[in-house]
Amino acid sequence: MGRRTRRRRWFVPYALLAPGVLWLLVFYAYPAAQVLVASFWTGSVERGFSFSLENWSNYPDAIGPVLPHFGRSIVYAFAATVLTFLIAYPLAYTMAVRAGRFKNLLLFLVVAPFFTSFLLRTISWKIILGDHSVVLGPLKDLGIVAEDFRVLATAMAVVAGITYNFLPFMTLPIYVSLEKIDLRLIEAARDLYAGPWRPGGAIAGALVGAGLFGLLAAIFGWSILPPAVGGALAFGFIGWRFVSQSFIRVTLPLSLPGVFAGTLLTFIPAIGDYVNAEFLGSADTRMIGNVIQNRFLVQNDYPAASALSFILMAGVLVVVAVYSRALGTTSLSTGRTI
Amino acid sequence: MDQPLAPHTLFHDMGISRRRFLAGGTLAGISAFLAACQATTTPTLSPTASATPSAGASPTPVPRATPSAELNWANWCCYMDVDPNDPTRWKTLEDFQAAYGTKVNYQEAVDANDTFFGTIKDPLNAGLDTGWDIIVLTDWMAARLIRLGWVEEFDLANMPNFVANVRDPYKGLEWDPEMKRHAPWQSGITGIGYDPSVTGPISSLRAFLTVDPRWKGRTEYLTEMRDAVGLTMLALGLDPTKPTRDGCDQAVAAMLKARADGIVRDVKGNAYTEDLKLGDAVLVMAWSGDIVQLKLEKPSLEFVIADEGAMFWTDNCLIPKGAAHKGTAELMIDWVYVPEHAAQIEAGISYVTPVEGVQEIFQQTAPELATDPLRFPPADQAGRLKQFGILSEDDAAYFDEQFAKVIGVG
């Protein structure tokens, strides 16, 4: 009896892993291996392709002309990740802590737009944000923005589109980790004199706001000072008015696992995204995803496309590894950071 | 599938016309491809009594092949006449089915030449059936497939109407001189699409390269390399019928300069129609048929063949190697080469027909169509329509690579 149980136990973990492993083998490992092989090809569609390790030069050849696209992808994905975090955190906090009986309704509202297709949602932005749309039309009529001002076909539109499309991937993990927090911990913190955080909140908020909006302005090619000052004032006020010591010492650290998961779920797909850049951006804002798409499907240059795909994968892996190292997933899951 | 017909109206309402609709179209193409791969067996049917197409004055020749139960056809969006009584059905295909008993599985599966090529090249390379019996591709891609030996030779005995009615200018091309492997489906013109109420009259392609506040930042180029490079070469006084690497370099440099000058809003595929409709773009490189359709919604739009000329292209029916229903495919192609049938198609779409006799039919039935310069370019304009020269594979790769810089991915 005992032996039989043991034998079954030996088998169970593998059986449980099998579907996932099989899935990864068929839909990840095998295609990835094919792409790796293709990245060492030389030739053309009509002449056929041949493999040789000597074709490692495909890598430098492919990446040389498109370094700016890599840089742009990282910058856009970073900006979108920060923006989703700033929007998602208060949203998730409200849902988890303050929403009461509206919690499920709010959760539904966060997810509801995502019942429609990614593509349709993105294209609908073109109608909302067009040069003479319901948003910009009146602003132009009133003389608030210049006649030739536009949102579409700019870096701002691409970053905003990515932010919008990935918002639930940031909101839901943060919500889950906030929802798990034992509210008695916050009560305990208050009992231990964790009160309003002043002037720390105001100063921290002002610094974050100035840095963030200054950075976004730089990415979008605006003048830096007005957004930085505006950001400092707005975030300074938020920090002064809403951020307490119990939030900084209890709630925020305990929610970091959700933040970690949310940032990865946003950043990784965002860096390879090409739909937003294709539909909302312009020739000046194309990302590395657009380059790979063009190499694969338009130029039929499979070796270059494969090499670029691998460089992107490796780059993302390095970024994620550094990030995990910095935040430390193990300590995060036990809430023992800061 | 009971209804062999694709949901034409959806795309039509979205304003997405003939050419590529990138991501969605690719998926549609792949799923159509997979669906078509499950082709069933083909019991033989005899032609019914109505198999003899009714002709006007002269008797129409009857082809001899035995039709199969089904036929799989991959075509571009908005390229077939809709049944006036049921917008989810294609009239011409229903007529064919009534005559031959063949169910035509017609899919708008081609969204771009390159992407569609990607879906069929592996089976063709392996000597397998692609699942399609007719595919429709632009000249240069048709030439490539023929060069690769991936296209079936027509049995012209099955295609008497095709032999009799294909118009002369389409004959004798260097990549298929005897016209045994391709049958032109439709031709079209790439020229200037613009809104004169904003830009004032425009008749020169130089406008695409000129800074003018009326269209600065509201000008769009096409992502189709042969159209964009071809029109720019014409603007520069170069000859796109004999494209050279040097000409390509000059055209690309001019387009990059226009981008740097802020003239160009974006370089787009079919999505330019949306921008034109919204007014975000007022001057675009456009496909003639698109503007004809857009004018219904926005009458201020115009299409013009510029003083320097315009690009002319043809999409062609090919039977891919190993097609399961080759004989029926030949019957289908022959069917659309009967002038009455071609006229029915042409009344529903707005392109240039390769079929002789259609204009004469319109003169009787619909005189306004017979004089439409976009359907029947007048002789004085025909000389200004240029076909982009066929490039060798290496040259095509060079042109694509250079043009990628203009799209912003090079």
Give B10's pLDDT tier (boundaries 50, 70, 90).
very low
Q: What are phi and psi of B184, to 5 degrees?
A: -55, 135
Reply yes or no on whether the pLDDT at B12 is more than 80: no
- The stretch A86-115 carries a mean pLDDT of 92
**Omega cis (within 30) before A303:** no
* Number of Cβ atoms within 10 Å of the Cβ of A293: 22
A286 in the same domain as A186? yes
User: What is the reported pLDDT for B11?
Assistant: 33
Residues in chain A closer than 8 A to B271 (CB atoms): 279
Residues in chain B closer than 8 A to A283 (CB atoms): 259, 264, 266-267, 406-408
B225 in the same domain as B105? no
Cα distance from A328 to chain B (closest Cα, Å)?
36
User: What is the reported pLDDT for A77?
Assistant: 96
A273 in the same domain as A151? yes
Burial A200-224 (b: 16+ CB within 10 A, else e): ebbebbbebbbebbbbbbebbeeee
User: What is the reported pLDDT for B7?
Assistant: 33
Q: Which residues 38-57 of chain A have a CB within 8 Å of chain B?
A: 44-47
Cα distance from B163 to chain A (closest Cα, Å)?
31
ipTM, two decimals = 0.86
- The stretch A133-154 carries a mean pLDDT of 89
Residues forming a β-bridge with B149 = none
Residues B283-335 pLDDT 10s: 999 998 889 888 889 999 999 999 999 999 999 999 999 999 999 999 999 99
Contact A119 B23 (CB under 8 A): yes
A92 in the same domain as A227? no
Residues in chain A closer than 8 A to B147 (CB atoms): 46
- The stretch A136-146 carries a mean pLDDT of 90
- What is the β-pairing status of strands B385-386 and B310-318? parallel
| Residue A61 sits at the chain B interface (C-beta within 8 Å) | no
B207 in the same domain as B108? no
Reply yes or no on whether the pLDDT at B19 is more than 80: no
Where is pLDDT greater, at B349 or B234? B234
Residues forming a β-bridge with A51 = A41
Residues in chain B closer than 8 A to A69 (CB atoms): 409
Q: Which residues 214-253 of chain A have a CB within 8 Å of chain B?
A: none
Question: pLDDT above 90 covers what percent of chain B?
Answer: 70
| Residue A291 sits at the chain B interface (C-beta within 8 Å) | yes
B217 in the same domain as B348? no
User: What is the reported pLDDT for B38?
Assistant: 35
Residue A163 resides in a domain: yes
A285 in the same domain as A204? no
- Chain A: residue nearest B266 by CA? A282
Residue A17 resides in a domain: no
Closest Cα to residue B357, out of B52, B80, B57, B54? B57
A324 in the same domain as A200? no
- The stretch A182-200 carries a mean pLDDT of 89
The model's pTM is 0.83
Where is pLDDT greater, at A327 or A333? A327
Print the domain residue range for B170. 8-181+319-374
The CA distance from B152 to B154, in Å, is 6
Residues in chain B closer than 8 A to A131 (CB atoms): 218, 278-280
Closest Cα to residue B228, out of B185, B195, B258? B258
Residues in chain A closer than 8 A to B393 (CB atoms): 44-47
B110 in the same domain as B168? yes
The per-residue pLDDT of chain B, averaged, comes to 86
A210 in the same domain as A152? no
User: What is the reported pLDDT for A114?
Assistant: 87
Closest Cα to residue A289, out of A80, A70, A120? A70
Query: Contact, B88 vs B3, CB < 8 A?
Result: yes
A179 in the same domain as A99? yes
The CA distance from A181 to B94, in Å, is 65
Interface of B with A (CB under 8 A): 22-24, 26, 112, 114-115, 117-118, 121, 144, 147-148, 216-218, 259, 264-267, 271, 274-275, 278-280, 393-394, 397, 400-401, 404, 406-410
- Chain B: residue nearest A285 by CA? B408
Residues B42-68 pLDDT 10s: 333 333 333 344 444 456 777 777 899
B89 in the same domain as B49? yes
Residue A176 resides in a domain: yes
Q: Angle, nearest 10°, between helix axes A252-272 and A67-93?
A: 140
Using CB atoms, pick whichever of A46, A148, A299 lies closest to residue B400.
Answer: A299
B138 in the same domain as B104? yes
B354 in the same domain as B255? no
A100 in the same domain as A233? no
The CA distance from B216 to B206, in Å, is 13
Amino acid at position A204, single letter: A
User: What is the reported pLDDT for B176?
Assistant: 95
Provide the number of CB pairs (under 8 Å) joining chain A to chain B.
Answer: 93
The CA distance from A214 to A287, in Å, is 22
Residue A220 resides in a domain: yes
A267 in the same domain as A157? yes
Contact B278 A127 (CB under 8 A): yes
Closest Cα to residue B306, out of B288, B293, B292? B288
The CA distance from A182 to B203, in Å, is 72
Closest Cα to residue B358, out of B336, B380, B378? B336
| Residues in chain A, overall count | 338
B292 in the same domain as B209? yes
Q: What is the 8-class DSSP label of residue A106?
A: H
- Tokens standing for A287? 């990302």
| Residue A297 sits at the chain B interface (C-beta within 8 Å) | yes
Print the domain residue range for A238. 196-243
Question: pLDDT above 70 covers what percent of chain A?
Answer: 94
Domain count, chain A: 2
Contact A133 B410 (CB under 8 A): no
Domain count, chain B: 2
The CA distance from A218 to A228, in Å, is 10
Contact A132 B217 (CB under 8 A): no
* Cα diameter, chain A: 84
The CA distance from B138 to B287, in Å, is 14
Closest Cα to residue A93, out of A196, A160, A197, A170? A170
The CA distance from A88 to A174, in Å, is 8
Using CB atoms, pick whichever of A47, A282, A299 lies closest to residue B404.
Answer: A299
Q: Which distant-in-sequence residues (6+ apart) come within 8 Å of A138 by Cβ?
A: none
User: What is the reported pLDDT for B88?
Assistant: 87
A216 in the same domain as A81? no
User: What is the reported pLDDT for B56?
Assistant: 42
The per-residue pLDDT of chain A, averaged, comes to 90
Residues B88-138 pLDDT 10s: 899 999 999 999 999 999 999 998 888 899 889 989 999 999 999 999 999
Residue B3 resides in a domain: no
A176 in the same domain as A126? yes
| Residue A165 sits at the chain B interface (C-beta within 8 Å) | no
Give A221's pLDDT tier (boundaries 50, 70, 90).
confident
B361 in the same domain as B334? yes
Contact B410 A65 (CB under 8 A): yes
A229 in the same domain as A128? no
| Residue A116 sits at the chain B interface (C-beta within 8 Å) | no
Give A323's pLDDT tier (boundaries 50, 70, 90).
confident
Contact A131 B280 (CB under 8 A): yes
Burial A58-72 (b: 16+ CB within 10 A, else e): bbeebbeebeebbeb
Is residue B16 helix, strand or coil?
coil
For residues B239, B244, B248, B254, the Cα torsion angle rounded to the nearest 10 degrees is -50
- Tell me the CATH number at B399: 3.40.190.10
Contact B267 A275 (CB under 8 A): no
Give A100's pLDDT tier (boundaries 50, 70, 90).
confident
B396 in the same domain as B345? no
Residues in chain A closer than 8 A to B274 (CB atoms): 123, 126
Give A330's pLDDT tier (boundaries 50, 70, 90).
low
Query: Contact, B56 vs B340, CB < 8 A?
Result: yes
Q: Which distant-in-sequence residues (6+ apart) come within 8 Å of B374 by Cβ?
A: B189, B288, B289, B292, B303, B350, B351, B352
Concatenate the DSSP letters of all residues of B317-377 into one string: EE-BTT-TTHHHHHHHHHHHTSHHHHHHHHHHS-SB--BTTHHHHHHHH-HHHHT-TTTS-
| Residue A275 sits at the chain B interface (C-beta within 8 Å) | yes
Cα distance from A334 to chain B (closest Cα, Å)?
42
Residue B379 resides in a domain: no
Query: Contact, A142 vs B292, CB < 8 A?
Result: no
- Tell me the CATH number at A120: 1.10.3720.10
User: What is the reported pLDDT for A6?
Assistant: 59
User: What is the reported pLDDT for A329?
Assistant: 57
User: What is the reported pLDDT for A165?
Assistant: 93
Query: Contact, B294 vs B276, CB < 8 A?
Result: yes
Q: How far is CA B316 from the centre of its chain?
A: 8
- The stretch A166-189 carries a mean pLDDT of 94
Report which listed range, A21-25, A138-142, A244-248, is most confident.
A21-25
User: What's the half-sphere exposure (Cβ side, CA atoms, 13 Å) at A101?
Assistant: 0
Reply yes or no on whether the pLDDT at B15 is more than 50: no
Residue A92 resides in a domain: yes
Burial B174-191 (b: 16+ CB within 10 A, else e): eebeebebbbbbbbbbbb
Q: Which distant-in-sequence residues (6+ apart) come within 8 Å of B136 by Cβ?
A: B73, B74, B75, B76, B79, B110, B185, B315, B316, B317, B318
- The stretch A121-137 carries a mean pLDDT of 89
Q: Which of A53-57, A196-200, B189-193, B314-318 has the lowest mean pLDDT?
A: A196-200
Residue A323 resides in a domain: yes
Residue B289 resides in a domain: yes
User: What is the reported pLDDT for B290?
Assistant: 86
Contact A296 B280 (CB under 8 A): no
Report which listed range, A50-59, A118-127, B266-275, is most confident.
A50-59
B129 in the same domain as B28? yes
Where is pLDDT greater, at A186 or B232? B232
- What is the β-pairing status of strands B70-76 and B82-83? unpaired
Contact B397 A65 (CB under 8 A): no
B243 in the same domain as B163? no
Using CB atoms, pick whichever of A150, A275, A299 lies closest to residue B23.
Answer: A275
